[in-house]
Chain A
Amino acid sequence: MTAIDVRGAAKVFNPGRSNQVEALSEIDLSVESGEFITLIGPSGCGKSTLLRLIASLISPSAGSVYVNAKPAEQARLDRDYGMAFQAAGLFDWRTVAKNIELPLELMGWSRGDRRRRSAEMLDLVKLGEFAKHHPSELSGGMQQRVAIARALAFSPSLLLMDEPFGALDEMTREHMQDELLRIWEETGTTVVFVTHSIPEAVYLSTRVVVMSPRPGRIAATIGVDLGNRSAATRDDTAFFKKVTEVRVALRSVEG
């Protein structure tokens, strides 16, 4: 089944004005359910804009965006996707558990169901004993795990992530990548992941979409088949070859 279908999409900010920016042009992208797609490219290539088009947080200037075979706007209203940002974006005044319950409250879940689900999600991200803590008491990596748990709390079929590990240190980042892959395998969620780290893109995804700037276009799509990831994968020659392949593709778009 096709999870995302973007056809001929373009995005122009401030059209007809002196600060007009052509952010995206002629984007065609199709994502099958269960895929793990990363969008990579130099800054200004519109990868975050493309993610927001899929999320229907902005609307395309031309073309169409379909999510789960319906217009993206409808998919947003139906809460078909969960989203995580570079800043964990937790609400300071809510406990960790209450943060995860936020989308469930908005959807009118009963208190008991919410409690049960937030407990499950906390187990999933291995933060079970931190339910009653406040975000300010957690480290950056732990906060990001809570954000992922919140995005997945209502079991959306699609997870949209905008550089979620961008602010983390290298050790935490690699650990989080393993956690995310484990969750992806356990839940079967389709993931679209924006990053500007080449090794991260290769390590995580089944397909790397390389984008070029001004205006943002899809320059290349590189399939990745490295089997089950483990610590050994990062030292594998096949891994390095893919990293090089993505790097070459990126270099050609930057010039």
Chain B
Amino acid sequence: MPDTDIMVETGDRLVREHRLEQQTTREERRDAIVRIVRKTVTFVLFLASLAGLYTGYKAFGQAIDDRQHEWAVVGSVLPRTDDLNMPPIGEIIGQMGETPGGQDRIYARILFDEALFTLREAFAGFVVGSVIGMAIALALAQWRGLEQGLLPYVIASQTVPLIAIAPIIVIWGRKNFDVFPWEWHDWMSVSVIATYLTFFPVAVNGLRGLQSPQPENRELMESYAASWSQTLWRLRLPASLPYLFAALKIAATASIVGAVVGEISAGVEGGLGRRILREAFNYTTGPDRLFASVLGAAVLGIFVFLVVTGVERLVVGRHSRGAAT
């Protein structure tokens, strides 16, 4: 019987494909390790070349004595290369291990504590902003008319200069936010500023994600007479996760930026932004400390980005590529 042949042949093929599958998993694991090593090496090389560029330009400027020569750009358009304008990298790094006057902690430890302060503000803002952003995305996805009516204002909200609204929020917080059952601290006002930067990417990308399922997938759920919440939890939310995590990565780094800028313009005691401001005032006596504190802010931004990426790996996994097949 030709039919039976087809069945047996198909069965064999399936078993072969299955073995191939298991082998592939092993290879994938090895590939993943290779990928991580390659990424780390690339990152280190990138940092090294940045440092090389900085040091090289500085050495070049020193050698031709900045402005006293025919290379008019160096020292005028480009920064001057003396130790005040461009402290040597060795000194910036070395500063981390030193104990500034009147302190009992080394500088790296001081930065770490400031970073924790900023991280708390940013995290609160990130969480609240993500929830608000997702709520906006859900509302816009639910009522199409609302999307056309409200989205322009959501976008316009991001054009308001942060530096301007930060002090207002702090003043409001001190005077008016006593409706909350807990005591309002200035750092919470900074969190509000971080929230302001966070909700936007989550709302916009969340909306795209919620709308990403194919018409067939929506018809399928309708054919099962699935309720609104069943469709949300089993189709729309899972389908939106890749979009959502792309937004959360932006939102996490934006929440750090929001917190640092918020601290600077709000006059909060503590935090990396405050530290950067203080080192800027004392620049002439310790330029390497300003560079070191800016470096600390950058490291904090990279850290939160990596944390979100890690959570994404755990939640989304390697099979979900957003849209259903």
Contacts and interface: CB of A to CB of B under 8 A. Distances in A.
A binds B: yes
Given A83-B220, A85-B220, A106-B226, A91 B238 contact: yes
B21 A133 contact: yes
B223 A130 contact: no
Contacts, number: 93
A143 B325 contact: yes
A231 B7 CA distance: 13
A87 to B, nearest CB: 5
B3 A230 contact: yes
A130 B18 contact: yes
A137 B20 CA distance: 11
B223 A55 contact: yes
Given A90-B324, A92-B321, A178-B3, A103 B224 contact: yes
A57 B10 contact: no
Contact of B225 (A79, A135, A137): A79
Contacts of B90: none
Secondary structure class of chain B's binding surface, majority of residues: helix
A87 B325 contact: yes
A89 B216 contact: yes
A134 B226 CA distance: 23
Interface string A84-125: 011111111100000000110111000000000000000000
Nearest to A133: B21
Interface string B134-146: 0000000000000
Interface string B310-325: 0000001101111111
A127 B10 CA distance: 10
Interface string A169-206: 00000010010000000000000000000000000000
A92 B324 contact: yes
A1 interface: no
Contacts of B216: 85-87, 89
B52 interface: no
Nearest to A83: B223
Nearest to A88: B325
Interface of A: 52, 55, 57, 76-77, 79, 81-83, 85-93, 102-103, 105-107, 126-127, 129-130, 133-137, 143, 160, 175, 178, 230-232
Given A79-B224, A129-B18, 18 more contacts: A52-B219, A76-B223, A79-B225, A85-B216, A85-B219, A86-B216, A89-B214, A89-B325, A90-B325, A91-B217, A92-B324, A93-B239, A93-B241, A93-B317, A93-B319, A102-B234, A126-B7, A230-B3
15 contacts: A52-B219, A55-B223, A76-B225, A86-B216, A89-B214, A90-B325, A91-B324, A92-B321, A107-B224, A126-B7, A130-B18, A136-B321, A143-B325, A178-B6, A232-B2
Instruction: Please give me the 10 A-B residue pairs with the lowest Cβ-Cβ distance, nearest first.
Output: A134-B319, A93-B320, A89-B216, A85-B216, A231-B2, A83-B223, A77-B225, A93-B238, A106-B224, A103-B224
